[in-house]
Chain A
Amino acid sequence: MLAKVYITLKNGVLDPQGKAVQHSLESIGHKGVQDVRIGKFIEMKLSDMPKADAEKKVKNMCEKLLANTVIENYKFEIV
């Protein structure tokens, strides 16, 4: 089974990288980009297990290592 984890900066945490990309998009003619936030995408291949167990496991991984919950939010899906 596959776990897809999305990590983003919390609202209120400045994202200078996102800002730079936003400006670059504007400079190549893409109007109307109001905000850009850059995050991380992590894909993990897991051994087969009940979905509830996998969810518990991945949540623990996110809390402990994959995300820094001081500055980042995470969400994930198990497929």
Chain B
Amino acid sequence: MPLQKGDFMKFGIVVFPGSNCDHDCYHVVRNVLGQEAEYIWHKDKEINGFDCLILPGGFSYGDYLRTGAIAKFSPVMNSVREFADKGGFVIGICNGFQILVEAGLLPGALMRNRDLKFICESRYIRVESSDTPFTRLYKKGEVVKFPIAHADGNYFADDETLKRIQDNGQIVFRYCDADGEVAEEANPNGSLLNIAGICNEKRNVLGIMPHPERCAENILGNTDGKRVFESIINSF
């Protein structure tokens, strides 16, 4: 149902112990885009009335064992899975992406960066698909710049999975240089195929390592990420 005038989308932002980008997401949704936003504590089992769920960045459970490994068993995750199964929009950013792959909502795994370092800088990424609710306001092939901030963003999947997500157009963002060349030198973390973001087969779940919420308003000097959120609203 398209949004009517005066209607707002309601975003739920899941807060795990150790999440630290939850407030940034809340701010963008609420103050930059003027939509409704509410935090969801990870122990909540019932989540109702949300139109989009955001799994924000951070270090849930201190990244113990593996990033996202413990968060995937938080009580809220069953509801997140049900919500996604029904076609609800779910976006996992950074640690949220790590949780989604651990939970099996997205294929593959995110491993320690190739150079074993935490990387915090802005990187160019290329929009590989505008055929998702999260990227419909971007042009396919468009080069944008998003900040990354992670130690475990090295995307891995076995050959068969990699082929499948390629064939299905599930690769949504890839690291590239300023000219849009997807080169090994432009790969910050060793991700296979320079993958920075993927979606599920139904295209309603997106995982992305770079942070769109950190580049969504003028005062931050970069608004390249704003259209991720605008796309979601536009898709609703």
Seen from chain A, the residues whose Cβ lies within 8 Å of a Cβ on chain B are 13-14, 16-17, 20, 65-66, 68, 70-71
Q: Quick one: CB contact mask for B91-133 with A, threshold 8 Å, 1 for yes?
A: 0000000000110000011011111100000000000000000
Q: Which residues of A contact B157 (CB under 8 A)?
A: 70
- Cβ of B30 within 8 Å of any chain A Cβ, yes or no, is no
Given known contacts A68-B69, A71-B156, A13 and B112 CB-to-CB distance under 8 angstroms: no
Task: Contact check, A13 vs B156: say whether CB atoms are below 8 A apart.
Answer: yes
- Sample 29 A-B pairs with CB under 8 A, ordered by A number: A13-B111, A13-B156, A14-B190, A16-B112, A16-B113, A16-B114, A16-B115, A16-B116, A16-B190, A17-B112, A17-B116, A20-B116, A65-B65, A65-B69, A65-B70, A66-B65, A68-B66, A68-B69, A68-B102, A68-B109, A70-B101, A70-B108, A70-B109, A70-B156, A70-B157, A70-B158, A71-B109, A71-B111, A71-B156
| Overall SS of chain B's interface | loop
Q: Which residues of B contact A20 (CB under 8 A)?
A: 116
Task: Please name the residue on chain B nearest to A70 by beta carbon.
Answer: B109
Give bound CA distance, A71 to B109, whole Å.
7
Seen from chain B, the residues whose Cβ lies within 8 Å of a Cβ on chain A are 65-66, 69-70, 73, 101-102, 108-109, 111-116, 156-158, 190
Q: Which residues of A contact B66 (CB under 8 A)?
A: 68
Q: Which residues of B contact A13 (CB under 8 A)?
A: 111, 156
- 6 closest residue pairs by CB, A with B: A70-B109, A71-B109, A16-B114, A16-B116, A68-B109, A71-B156
Q: Which residues of B contact A17 (CB under 8 A)?
A: 112, 116
Q: Which residues of B contact A14 (CB under 8 A)?
A: 114, 190
Find B73's partner among A16, A65, A68 (CB 8 Å cutoff): A65
Q: Which residues of A contact B70 (CB under 8 A)?
A: 65
Task: Please name the residue on chain B nearest to A17 by beta carbon.
Answer: B116
Q: Which residues of A contact B73 (CB under 8 A)?
A: 65
Q: Which residues of A contact B108 (CB under 8 A)?
A: 70
Give bound CA distance, A14 to B109, whole Å.
13
Give bound CA distance, A65 to B74, whole Å.
12
Q: Which residues of B contact A70 (CB under 8 A)?
A: 101, 108-109, 156-158
B110 → chain A closest CB, angstroms = 9
B103 → chain A closest CB, angstroms = 11
Give bound CA distance, A59 to B69, whole Å.
17
Give bound CA distance, A49 to B158, whole Å.
37
